[in-house]
Chain A
Amino acid sequence: MAQEASSSTSSKTISLKTGDGEIFEIEASAAKQMKTVQRLIDDLGDDITIPLHNVFSKELPKIIEYYKKDITGEITKDFEAEFVKDLNDDEVKVLFLAANYLDANKLFEFLSQNIADRLESKSVEYVRKYFGVENDFTPEEESKLREERAWSFRGIKEDE
């Protein structure tokens, strides 16, 4: 369901289709900031709906919101703080993966820093769950490592 591109060249929009079949519109200048999208436009043309198999309708609107502000040069620390304020750690992770897939550098940098900040003083178990990794140390290895790093286990936050 490709939409007609608007007639004025300065406000050209691109249609994006998410992995779950929904269509969203973004400005061509915002699309430029997402290198993956731009590459697809270069290959397929800008009149066709660009398919994004790995991005879904839950996160794409948020990403579009970010880049709408970016092209008008309005991204401030306050905006960024508001942007992530109500997102839980998993929602940020999903956005982060999407930004990585879309090769959207500015958003990627911002979200990596945000995740790093969220992990501050969190426990080992929390980080395990967050990154989705299995504990592949033997009990002996783990206790040895913990002992060597005893100094880093003070002041940990309670898991939420």
Chain B
Amino acid sequence: MAEITYICKRTVVSTKPTQPGKYHSFSVLDHLMEKNHIRIVYYCKSWGEKEAGEITVSLRESISEMLTHFPKVTGRLIRNEKGNWMIKCNDAGVRMVEARAKGSVEDWLKIVDREKELKLVYWEDMIHKPYFWSTFYVQAWADKTLGQKMVSPPFFHPLPPRRPINKTSNHKPYADLINHYKFSIENSIPLLDANHTHTTITLSFSDHMVQACMDMVQPTSAPNKPNRPSSPFEALAGLLWICISKVKGLRNGLVNMSLCLDQRKVLGLDKGFFGNCMVCNKVHSNGLEEHNLSQATKVIGEALEKMDNEGIMDLIEWLKHNDSYSHPLMNNCDLICASLETAEPYSVDFVGGFEPIRVSYYVEPTIGIGQVLIFRAPSYDGPLGRVVMVTLPKDEIVKLCEDELILHLSPRILMGVARNHA
């Protein structure tokens, strides 16, 4: 029904020229994300009787202003002497593609699926040419569109050094985190073009659904052990871990899963820090025979706790020392469960008072076991509301939708499996 007509491709530059001759190198965490890319779709309501062209003009103007604050985004990737990527801030600008889709946003959202949605995000494989298709701070862009000052201006600086603390005499580096990365790097499966067998669904858990899930997590036994209440992320991650394990046919035990979280707070960085802060950790499922939600969630909670400042600092130092590894793909052996909660997609406001109707994230390439992305839901779903995007092979997704735990919580299916129709 909805065709997408490609209108044009152009370059948008910042409003002020950048200082020539500046370079920005990536941190070790940035380098790890080299093979990954993320595609995001924001659906916004258009307010008032504006022509489609007018909105793009004002968006272009605001992105120009915003780019003045992000000279690294308008630069280009080049390789430095060590063979790693770095950015040359040459003020070249950001490529923008404009297209028009027929039909209204609401109609589109009813029939959209992974394939169709990905068509909305323009992608070109830049294999040989060192050009930079940037993903940038959409929040800052939105703030600028309304003529406001940016709420969190960007910070460009290297990862912070270790916090000076009382050095205890026996300081054992947190081995698990490092081992996980080592294992991933050594066992990375070569990239296969397996994109087309996976599909994605989006489930929306409103406030009370998440509350119900968290209640299910609270263990009924062992009253004398004080339990830390689990966070929505832990609860949902546990839920999906179990469901996906069931779907994959594992009667006892759970699939290998890694958690991936943004560690800005832990590292003491401001929200405006420009760079990758996602750190992954494996969840140990040894000893978990049954599919018990509260136990799974407990294990997840433990893994999250272990990712503290010390542990991450150790990891960063280890990565710096072992710089010679070619940067691998981080999500190819396990089920990745990533929390994008700090991204706050629905607080982005382009049109003055309206949050986006929907936001979709796609982290690519998707191979391996699968992927779960959890992020905050629009405000009408309540503060605990979460949106979960699950990427699995097609047949498993269908089984997942029929899983009893999920049906018990009955989340809203925002985007389902592709229906085969014209």
A and B are interacting partners = no
